[in-house]
Amino acid sequence: MKNKLPVENVGDTDVCLFIEPYGEDYWLKPGDVFEVTPLSDAYVQFSVAVANDLFTVWLYEDGDPYNALLDYEVAAANGDKLECGHQRPADSGGG
């Protein structure tokens, strides 16, 4: 069974889920739940850093901080795969 990382916005403002090393962003509106799933059969460890309105996530294969996992997907609670920039606010400065 693959490791998965659920991320839930329990606040009242939009929150950015930022996944490294590519810097892909997915925006959670209040009440949204997303799930980050590695596309590898290896054991994956997640590293999460949290700021006011930002979750930064790294995925490491076999828990090795020098072996970042590059293949993953982000899905909504209903299972729909999300694309980078999902729900990105126009004033976020992102491209």
User: Confidence class of residue 42 from pLDDT cuts 50, 70 and 90?
Assistant: confident
- Looking at residue 93, its pLDDT comes to 64
The number of angstroms, rounded, from the C-alpha of 6 to the middle of its chain's C-alpha atoms is 8
Query: Would you state the pLDDT for residue 94?
Result: 58
Tokens 């799930």 found at: 35
So what's the pLDDT on residue 95?
56
5-8 sheet: strands from edge to edge: 5-8, 33-38, 72-76
The residue-averaged pLDDT of 51-63 equals 91
Task: Extract the tokens encoding 16.
Answer: 């950015």
Is the sign of the CA dihedral 47, 45, 68, 82 positive or negative?
negative
Residue of higher predicted confidence among 47 and 40:
47
Q: Does the predicted model carry a pTM greater than 0.85?
A: yes
The domains of the chain are located at: 5-76
